[in-house]
Each structure stands twice: as structure tokens, then as C-alpha cells.
Amino acid sequence: MKNLWSDSDAKAAIDSHAKKGINADLALRVYTTRLLGGEPKLVLHGGGNTSVKTSVTGLLGETIPVLCVKGSGWDLGTIEPPGHPAVRLEPLRALRALDSLSDEAMVAAQRNNLIDPAAPNPSVEALLHAFLPHTFVDHTHSSALLALADQPDAAEVCRRVYGERVVLVPYVMPGFALAQSCAALYEEAAERAAASGVELEGMVLLKHGLFSFGATAKQSYERMIELVRLAEQRSEEHTSELQSRQYLVCRLLLE
């Protein structure tokens, strides 16, 4: 998995979008989202979603914290700024106080807090993005990661590959329950990581996919690439081990 980040391309994206009134946060969000979406090994199995926490100016000149998150119907590889509709962040985070929330009520709450009421529906995983503290959050369904996360002993395998760099999340159907589970497990893991001097870089959702996060678009993107590279490395080593065993079995049979 290659790191395709380019400082010059990132600057060009900021400059180009600035002419259209798009701030640097969203410009870089679009730039790295396209990098992820252009790699089939990351998005072949169900695409993914990305977000950035930033702010917009309201009608009265007030600053409104928002979550710009991938919207329904947009492809990561060709996404434009409207593909990350802005949703008021604080009302989304307030939903965490609930014990449960139906999918219908969740979608309604997200739509009610859109800055542009004509914007597409935010991703079903918008609350997961909102509940995490990081400015940039990336989510893919990496083929290499799924090869690990779909195993019967996936938790053990992933822990051997990543150590304490990631949060491991048992499978939960996407929606409010998953967002709650991820937020709680992240906070527990972050407390342990802080005590041991380890910085969390992402989350592995078993039988689902991979999240990375960071303070900048570059950091979150590069963490995604590195976490996927480690998964690829593990898969290659496993394949090599199997081939070695098969070779030894053949030798024994021929002797």
C-alpha cells in the first residue's frame, strides 16, 4: 500500500477550493478522501466514509462547529465538497446521552441538523465520527484488513499485528449502537494508552473495516496507509508460512 500524499498537491487543493469559498479543512478532507477512494484495495468492499470537524459561519455571523461527513450517494474517488455535508456537531454529540436510538430517529436527527437542508443524508456512521475526538477520521474496508478481521481468531491476530496502536471493536451493525460501542471502547483504550505512552492511531471493527484518525488530514491518511500496510505484511507472511508447510508436506510424501 503506497502513501500517495503530496505536499504540492495538497496545497493546490487548498488554493483551488479557496476560490470557491471552501476552507482548508474541507479542501484537505476532499483531497485525502479522493486518495483513499482511488485505491480499489481500500474501498472495493462497500466503499467507506470520511469526516472532518471544522466550523462554518451562520447567518448572524456566529461560528458553528460542524461535522463534515461523507454523504449518501457520493463516491470516495470522485467526491467534491458537497459530498461532505456539514452537520451541527454539538447536537450530534449530545445524542450520546441516549440509551438507544432507532435508525429512523437517527437519520431524522442528522437531517434536522444539516446546515444545508437540501444536502444529502450524512453517512449511517456519522455519529461514530462525531463521538470520536479527532479532527480527521477515515474509514475504509481494506481487503488486507478484512482478511485478518474476518478470521475466527480475528481479535488475537489483529492484536499481534497492531499491538496497542488500535482499538478492537467486536462486530455491531452500523448505526447508533456501533457509535456508542466505538466511543466507549476508544475512551477505555485511550486511557490505557496514555498510561503506557502509546498513541492510538485507529480502530479495527471486526468483520467490518478499519478506522484511522488524527489531528491533520495527512496524519489520518498516513496512519490508514500504514495500518493497511501492516495488514498486507501479515497476510504475505501467512501465505509464505502456508507455502512452506505445503512444501514440507510434499517432500515428506515423496520420501
What confidence tens digit (pLDDT) does each residue in 200-248 have? 999 999 999 999 999 999 999 999 999 999 999 998 886 544 344 443 3
Give me 137's grid cell. 477520521
**pLDDT value for 242:** 35
Q: How confident is the model at residue 4 (pLDDT cuts 50, 70, 90)?
A: very high
What confidence tens digit (pLDDT) does each residue in 12-58 have? 999 999 999 999 999 999 999 999 999 999 998 778 999 999 999 99
How many angstroms separate the Cα of 120 from the Cα of each of 37, 38, 76, 225, 232?
A: 19, 22, 14, 28, 34
CA atoms of 236 and 183, how far apart (whole Å): 32
Cell 499481534 locates to 160
Q: Which helix (H) or strand (E) holds 211?
A: strand 209-214
Helix crossing, 24-37 with 7-18: angle to 10°? Answer: 130
Nearest-5° Cα angle at 219, 215 to 221: 120
For 167, residues 6+ apart whose C-beta sits below 8 A from its C-beta are 182, 185, 186, 189, 200, 202, 203, 204
- Model confidence at 252: pLDDT above 80: no
48-57 and 166-169 beta bridge pairing:
unpaired
How much is the mean pLDDT over the chain?
93
What confidence tens digit (pLDDT) does each residue in 60-94 have? 999 999 999 999 999 999 999 999 999 999 999 99
What confidence tens digit (pLDDT) does each residue in 125-169 have? 999 999 999 999 999 999 999 999 999 999 999 999 999 999 999
**pLDDT value for 229:** 97
Cell 483551488 locates to 16
**pLDDT value for 236:** 87
**pLDDT value for 114:** 98
Cell 472495493 locates to 44
Distance of CA 178 to the CA centre of its chain: 13
